[in-house]
Chains A and B, each alone.
Chain A
């Protein structure tokens, strides 16, 4: 069986030097529709799994970069001492290695942050709201060192490097991305199993045809190519339709928005739209390998 290699099968698949072509394989009716439908459904699901993997990847990257990009210093002190304490904190922050220029959030930005909880009419000035300082940081920033220094020199100033609430989110996003990748792999494996079963069923139903072909001088390559070509084309056609439908469904999802959170960002961006186009090619490859394997197994039993 060594000569029945991928290269010669691929030639048979793409060329028409095998004069008998697909006609030597009898029409398979239900099996054909089943293969087309299954390949289409799998491709549709693969588009969503791919979109999930890409979207969660973007989310994890964004959250990771935001996590690493800035920290917040919260300064709480009696009203009379607030300005002085804030100035002390600012002077420490300005001399902190790995930190950029600290920015004290003005009252209107504080009001915006509190608006979801207190409403737009709440007089923030009248509340004992702590001052917030936004500090851009670089990779070599030492959060723990700054925390200790603030504790020692500016009691009431607390460093929040967002780790506690962002880290679980990044972890969840990474796990979702992994889930998407695993889903893609499972879809690929299920597709291979489905096409293999369909091909085996078709081959088993056509043992007599294969026997006749062998008796009149057909080589294994000729017989295998006819079956492989049929199932590879079906897998490619079904998955192309499924992919187009899946991409259409993704296209009509709402655009990403802050209000919608993660779910509205479940789509493709820019060049990402090219990635689903590989699904029919991969499905054709899976169909090719699965049918080739099934055909080789079957031919071994026919002399």
Chain B
């Protein structure tokens, strides 16, 4: 799925943030990525959906070398990788339902209205289908982002601090959705610094916890 071998990355003009990263995202597995703020969690996720390119090492996504991807190939990759950002952005002039269906529309696929209704029901946003994104709360935006991320039935779902702006109850509601996705066979990678959230989730699903420290990736210990 996603494979990194000795991958390094540094932002222009800065020291290398990540180095010697070796990682394989196992299909169907639930992964957590944790580490202190600024440790490079978001950067690693951005490498996974080709928003950034590694400065060294080898990285492949679905068997394709990330550094050789054309712009269209990057677009195709992003149709196979659903992403939920900490501060998800929408097209504010389109109703929520249209925003969620947007990946289908731009991929030129028919929008199955029943499936869309089911998806809105799954993230408990049926009553907001016609609402414009700016009118939604933080939790509603995160759930909408998750619905948008999975509408193309991607192989991999990435979530970058998806509960960063949410209270505990709402956080657990969102994690429940991610667990359901994983149980349906999707590979999930959630970046978070919230260890309590990781522990609470691990009580419900088998998860592999990866920790970034000092720019390197380690498998977390038994404490998690």
Residues of A with Cβ closer than 8 Å to B?
Answer: 1, 3, 17-20, 23-24, 26-27, 208-209, 211-220, 222, 299, 303
On whether the beta carbons of B78 and A216 are closer than 8 Å, the reply is yes
A19 partner, pick from B51, B71, B108, beta carbons under 8 A: B108
Q: In whole angstroms, what is the CA distance A51 to B52 when docked?
A: 56
Residues of B within 8 A of A26 (CB): 91-93
Does B148 sit within 8 A of A, measured CB to CB?
Answer: yes
Segment of B58-66, B97-105, B112-120, B190-198 in the binding face: B97-105
On whether the beta carbons of B92 and A19 are closer than 8 Å, the reply is no
* B103: nearest chain-A partner, CB-CB: A216
* A223: nearest chain-B partner, CB-CB: B106
On whether the beta carbons of B51 and A215 are closer than 8 Å, the reply is yes
On whether the beta carbons of B105 and A20 are closer than 8 Å, the reply is yes
Q: In whole angstroms, what is the CA distance A23 to B98 when docked?
A: 10
* A2: nearest chain-B partner, CB-CB: B70
Residues of B within 8 A of A17 (CB): 108
Residues of B within 8 A of A219 (CB): 71-72, 75, 106
Tally of A-B Cβ pairs under 8 angstroms: 69
Residues of B with Cβ closer than 8 Å to A?
Answer: 49-51, 71-72, 74-76, 78-79, 83, 89-94, 98, 102-111, 148, 152
Residues of B within 8 A of A3 (CB): 72
On whether the beta carbons of B103 and A217 are closer than 8 Å, the reply is yes
Q: In whole angstroms, what is the CA distance A219 to B83 when docked?
A: 17
| Interface-central residue, A17, A23, A208, A219, by most chain B CB under 10 Å | A219
Q: Which 9 pairs, one residue from A and one from B, show the smallest C-beta to C-beta distance? A: A217-B79, A217-B78, A20-B105, A26-B93, A218-B106, A19-B105, A219-B75, A216-B103, A20-B106
Q: In whole angstroms, what is the CA distance A212 to B98 when docked?
A: 14
Given contacts A26-B93, A216-B78, A217-B78, contact A20 B102 (CB under 8 A): yes
* B52: nearest chain-A partner, CB-CB: A303
A209 partner, pick from B49, B71, B72, B91, beta carbons under 8 A: B91
* A17: nearest chain-B partner, CB-CB: B108
Residues of A within 8 A of B75 (CB): 214, 217-220
Residues of A within 8 A of B49 (CB): 215
On whether the beta carbons of B102 and A220 are closer than 8 Å, the reply is no
Q: In whole angstroms, what is the CA distance A166 to B95 when docked?
A: 71
Given contacts A23-B98, A219-B72, A219-B75, contact A211 B106 (CB under 8 A): no
Residues of A within 8 A of B111 (CB): 19
On whether the beta carbons of A18 and B108 are closer than 8 Å, the reply is yes
On whether the beta carbons of B106 and A213 are closer than 8 Å, the reply is yes
Identify 20 residue pairs between A and B in the complex whose beta-carbon atoms are under 8 Å apart, listed by A's number. A19-B105, A19-B106, A19-B108, A19-B110, A20-B105, A20-B106, A23-B98, A24-B91, A24-B94, A212-B90, A214-B78, A216-B78, A216-B102, A217-B76, A219-B71, A219-B75, A219-B106, A220-B71, A222-B106, A303-B50
Given contacts A219-B72, A220-B71, contact A211 B98 (CB under 8 A): no
On whether the beta carbons of B74 and A303 are closer than 8 Å, the reply is yes
| Chain B proximity of A225: nearest CB distance (Å) | 11
Residues of B within 8 A of A299 (CB): 71
Supplied contacts A19-B109, A218-B75, 13 more A-B pairs, CB within 8 Å: A19-B108, A20-B102, A20-B106, A23-B94, A23-B98, A208-B89, A209-B91, A214-B75, A215-B83, A217-B75, A217-B107, A219-B106, A303-B51
A27 partner, pick from B83, B93, B148, beta carbons under 8 A: B93
| Chain B proximity of A278: nearest CB distance (Å) | 34
Residues of B within 8 A of A211 (CB): 89
| Chain B proximity of A219: nearest CB distance (Å) | 4
| Chain B proximity of A151: nearest CB distance (Å) | 81
Residues of B within 8 A of A18 (CB): 106, 108
On whether the beta carbons of B51 and A24 are closer than 8 Å, the reply is no
* B104: nearest chain-A partner, CB-CB: A19
Residues of B within 8 A of A214 (CB): 75, 78
| Chain B proximity of A290: nearest CB distance (Å) | 22
Residues of B within 8 A of A27 (CB): 93
